[in-house]
Amino acid sequence: MDIVLASGSPRRRELLERAKLNFSILSADINEIRYDNESPKDYIERMVATKAEAAIKQLNEKIQANKMNCAEQLIILTSDTIGVLPDGKTVLVKPVDREHAYSMWQQMSDNVHEVWTAVQATQISLLPDLANLTTDYQQGFQVVNRQQITERTEVTFIPLTEPMMSDYWDSGEPADKAGGYGIQGLGAAWVSRINGSYTNVVGLPLSQTLALIRDMQAD
């Protein structure tokens, strides 16, 4: 089955390319605002499910407009990464501005946090007769199977100073990363140790994701 990575993240693309996986890319933009009192687990599981739905909707719209030809079966791969503080409730997301980044970093400084990544593989099949369908969700592709995993990695930060935070923000690296840092970049200097999957902290637990894909392809 062909694989579609429904993500605009260059880091996830690079990880899958390292694994020599053949895939195409479709960016699925959704509202990523967390609900009031929504647990971190419920939040990221909802995110990957919603991204999959958005990707399927885009594919169906392109098919109906005769703008694409595709395989009859696809696996849609979606992922979402957050940081979580030791209280198990406070979520570290992409910073909206410098002040937001500083607030997160001050809580992470000389402390342990976890990086959680949810991954969903959604198998879809192309229906043969579009003309007889009326519901938006079923026009084109229908969901045959879906599986989710969530990986957690423990990360320990060194004590951070204001000049360190200022220099890092000015580098531009933190802006599009959960928790406001990239372990694969300049942010590595802040990490004293990790316990768990390194690629999970980058944005995609690679070995676990490949196993998920193999399991779905075997079904």
Active-site positions read 80
Q: How far apart are CA 162 and CA 172, in angstroms?
A: 16
Structure tokens at 173: 């690296």
* Beta partners for residue 2, in sequence order: 74
Beta-carbon contacts of 176 under 8 Å, excluding residues fewer than 6 positions away, are 94
Q: How far apart are CA 216 and CA 219, in angstroms?
A: 5
Name the one residue in this structure whose structure tokens are 């690629």: 199
In the chain, the amino acid numbered 37 is N
Instruction: Put residue 196 in one of left, alpha, beta given phi > 0 → left and psi -120 to 50 → alpha.
Output: left
Using alpha carbons, select from 60, 25, 70 the residue that is nearest to residue 141. Answer: 60
Phi–psi pair at 193, nearest 5 degrees = -165, 160
Instruction: With H, G, I as helix, E, B as strand and everything else as coil, classify residue 104.
Output: helix
Q: How far apart are CA 196 and CA 133, in angstroms?
A: 46
Alpha-carbon torsion, ordered 19, 24, 30, 33, to 10 deg: 10
* Beta partners for residue 73, in sequence order: 125
